[in-house]
Amino acid sequence: MGNMKPEKMRVCATTGLPVCLNAELFIKLNAVFGVVSLLIGAVAAILLALTRWETVALLDPVDYYMVISLHGLNMLIFWILFMEMAILYFASTTLLNSRNFNNLLSWGQFALMLVGMVMVNYSVLAGRASVTMTSYVPLRAEQEFYLGMILFAVGALLGTVNFFGGLYIAKRDKTYKGAIPLVVFGALAAAIIAVFTIVHGAIVLIPTWLWSLGVLESPPDAVWYRLIWWALGHCSQQINVCAMVAVWYFLATLTTGAKPLNQTVCRFAFLLYILFINLASAHHLLVDPAVSAGWKMWNTSYALYLAVMASMIHGFTVPASVEVAGRKKGMGGLFGWLTKAPWKDPGFSAFFLSLVIFGFGGGITGVTLGTHQINIIAHNTLRIPGHFHVTVAGGTTLAFMGLAYYVVPLIFRREYSFKAFARLQPYIFGFGISLMAIGMTLAGSLGVPRRHPDIDFTGAKIVADLGDAAPFLAMLGIGGVIAATGALIFVLLTVHAVFLGKSNKGRAMESWQTPEQSKLTANLISTKWSPNEPGLKPKGTVVLTFIFLASFAVYYFSNWKALIDVWPVK
């Protein structure tokens, strides 16, 4: 029994799922401004990539610092959080057969986030806040920058409150039977971590804002600021991981009919994220003063790396479920489920590339760089952006792009045009971002710093030179331009579809897959079957996970080996 008034809902013509029209409005609003942020971030990205490519050296330093602030904020904060808000609306309504909790709250969420985003972008573009997204004190931005960030965060908090309220009324009205679906569970994990994150944001940004206003005489203590800021900064990455994994499960189901082998295991893994992530701010303080070695080691391992274990579990269960679905459809051999997968469906390719790039790129580098002693040869070098562009860009962003290829036809009820470009887009973005990240990582291994527009150190009193890194910086530049082109293609296609695309009201969306593929997938979604039937064993995934583990070990131990060459230091 749903709780929606008939005039406030519609039934999706493709999936048969109920859609609350109020929630639909907020999904649209948030998604649109997410894409606007992505556009700003991608334009900035081209300028950054062309500056770090030393032979091009496009921007002068002062502009570089402004543009890097613009890029970090629009990408990591605005694009990602607007999209996550859209996901929360979707998960607490359609998937629970329930209505939006409170429209006033939702307007508050959207309005505050929009005002915050506009204030921050104004401040940065006017040259009043070139402090980069971390805004480490005692660097100081003008006050509207901090206020904008605070408003944006409060908006996001209202979004999570609305989400919890949505879960509550769905339960109260008994709109669904049994436990909540796995995707909603993932969104719930993300929302819980979000509350924790936003509270830290308030603790650190409010005093900083008061200082920028002149109400407080001195800025917060710089070490304290770093500690609390990273409780915000790192936990918000775990929100992104949760949201991304939830999107993986969602797209796996929609594009291949996959079913998790064991729901308990998947949920347990989300639970580990919630329990252990609050310790992770230590990752960023590994070579800081005034935090002890014992504290660093315990916290950076998130208490014995149990959150890493969670990611390794998802890294198996997600592809395994796709493989089992493939086998159920009769795809044989070790990797038939991969060779015959719907690679021309951008929902599928974006999801699967995201999984591979995040796992092999982001996961392995993240754990390695976050190792207490190895961090000595990585901290603040280009290896760090090399890591997070394969998590939050190649992973989360690519997954969200894949999601859009379904959200636009299903929620906006508009078809994408220029489908050939859409089918190629995930490959362009995924390839470019991976190439850029590899270039960054290699340059960083030579000591090339992050947030730095000029490795010739022009004008420095003492000459220094990092010329050896030139080929790797060229890789960064070329990969970056390809990736940003991929992002811009996505933005153009999506904006075109939303405003000018062919309407599909009252009809099922045009499938991205061949008629045969989509029939098989639809069959798996609508019939009852068990992923644990004999004969469906995910043997291919087993092979992949061992390749993964071997790559992990090789990368990890070769970093220890590199550390041996560094001067003795403590």
Residue 333: Cβ within 10 Å count:
12
In a 3-state reduction of DSSP, which class is residue 314?
Answer: helix
Check: CB of residue 94 under 8 Å from CB of residue 176: no
> For another protein, which is the closer residue by CB, 19 or 39?
19
274 contact partners, CB below 8 Å, separation of at least 6: 189, 192, 193
For 11, phi then psi, to 5°, come to -105, 130
Stretch that binds another protein, among 76-84, 187-195, 333-341, 364-372 (CB under 8 A): 364-372
Q: 219: buried, middle or exposed (CB in 10 Å: 19+, 13-18, 0-12)?
A: middle
CB half-sphere exposure, 201, CA atoms < 13 A: 26
Q: Which of residues 454-473 bind another protein (CB under 8 A)?
A: 454, 457-466
> For another protein, which is the closer residue by CB, 270 or 429?
270
Q: How far apart are CA 357 and CA 339, in angstroms?
A: 18
Check residue 556 for interaction with another protein (CB under 8 A).
yes
Q: Which of residues 249-288 bind another protein (CB under 8 A)?
A: 249-250, 252-254, 258-266, 285-288
What is the contact mask toward another protein in residues 417 to 436, using x (rule: CB under 8 A)? --------------------
> For ligand HEM, which is the closer residue by CB, 338 or 393?
393
> For ligand HEM, which is the closer residue by CB, 322 or 377?
377
When binding is defined by CB under 8 A, the residue of 86, 129, 147, 182 that contacts another protein is: 182
Q: How far apart are CA 383 and CA 510, in angstroms?
A: 42
Please state whether 135 falls in left (phi above 0), alpha (psi between -120 and 50) or beta. Answer: left
> For another protein, which is the closer residue by CB, 499 or 546?
546
Stretch that binds another protein, among 345-353, 400-408, 434-442, 445-453 (CB under 8 A): 445-453
Check residue 313 for interaction with another protein (CB under 8 A).
yes
CB of 392 to ligand HEM, least distance (A): 4
Containing 19, the helix (H) or strand (E) segment is: strand 18-20
In a 3-state reduction of DSSP, which class is residue 11?
Answer: strand
CB of 271 to ligand HEM, least distance (A): 26
Look at residue 71 and give the partner it binds from ligand HEM, another protein, none, a contact being a CB closer than 5 to 8 Å depending on partner kind. Answer: ligand HEM
Look at residue 564 and give the partner it binds from another protein, ligand HEM, none, a contact being a CB closer than 5 to 8 Å depending on partner kind. Answer: another protein
CB of 450 to ligand HEM, least distance (A): 3
Check: CB of residue 163 under 8 Å from CB of residue 184: no
Beta bridge partners of 381: 449
End-to-end CA distance of the chain: 64
Whether the CA torsion 119, 121, 126, 131 is positive or negative: it is positive
Look at residue 485 and give the partner it binds from ligand HEM, another protein, none, a contact being a CB closer than 5 to 8 Å depending on partner kind. Answer: none
CB of 49 to ligand HEM, least distance (A): 4
Choose among 451, 465, 241: nearest CA to 359.
241
Check: CB of residue 439 under 8 Å from CB of residue 479: yes
List of residues contacting ligand HEM (CB under 6 A): 42, 45, 48-49, 52, 68, 71-72, 75-76, 79-80, 132-133, 385, 389, 392-393, 397, 436, 450-452, 480, 483-484, 487
Structure tokens at 120: 């921050």
Q: Which of residues 70-109 bind another protein (CB under 8 A)?
A: 95
Residue with tokens 């099922």: 508
> For another protein, which is the closer residue by CB, 124 or 157?
124
CB of 67 to ligand HEM, least distance (A): 9
Check residue 221 for interaction with another protein (CB under 8 A).
yes
Q: How far apart are CA 38 and CA 81, in angstroms?
A: 11
Structure tokens at 369: 């760089």
Check residue 183 for interaction with another protein (CB under 8 A).
yes
Q: What angle do CA 300, 306, 311 make, to 5 degrees?
A: 105
Please state whether 455 falls in left (phi above 0), alpha (psi between -120 and 50) or beta. Answer: alpha
Q: How far apart are CA 196 and CA 219, in angstroms?
A: 23
Look at residue 80 and give the partner it binds from another protein, ligand HEM, none, a contact being a CB closer than 5 to 8 Å depending on partner kind. Answer: ligand HEM
For residue 270, which amino acid is it? Answer: F
When binding is defined by CB under 8 A, the residue of 449, 478, 495, 496 that contacts another protein is: 449
Look at residue 178 and give the partner it binds from another protein, ligand HEM, none, a contact being a CB closer than 5 to 8 Å depending on partner kind. Answer: another protein
Look at residue 235 and give the partner it binds from ligand HEM, another protein, none, a contact being a CB closer than 5 to 8 Å depending on partner kind. Answer: none
CB of 488 to another protein, least distance (A): 27
Q: 56: buried, middle or exposed (CB in 10 Å: 19+, 13-18, 0-12)?
A: middle
Check residue 292 for interaction with another protein (CB under 8 A).
yes
> For ligand HEM, which is the closer residue by CB, 315 or 385?
385
For 18, phi then psi, to 5°, come to -80, 140
> For ligand HEM, which is the closer residue by CB, 95 or 448?
448
Q: Please tell me what DSSP assigns to residue 220.
A: P
Check residue 387 for interaction with another protein (CB under 8 A).
no
Look at residue 260 and give the partner it binds from ligand HEM, another protein, none, a contact being a CB closer than 5 to 8 Å depending on partner kind. Answer: another protein
CB of 153 to ligand HEM, least distance (A): 17
Cα–chain-centroid distance for residue 96? 24
CB of 230 to another protein, least distance (A): 12
Look at residue 72 and give the partner it binds from another protein, ligand HEM, none, a contact being a CB closer than 5 to 8 Å depending on partner kind. Answer: ligand HEM
CB of 48 to ligand HEM, least distance (A): 4
When binding is defined by CB under 8 A, the residue of 5, 16, 61, 558 that contacts another protein is: 61
Residues in the chain: 570
Stretch that binds another protein, among 33-41, 114-122, 199-207, 366-374 (CB under 8 A): 366-374
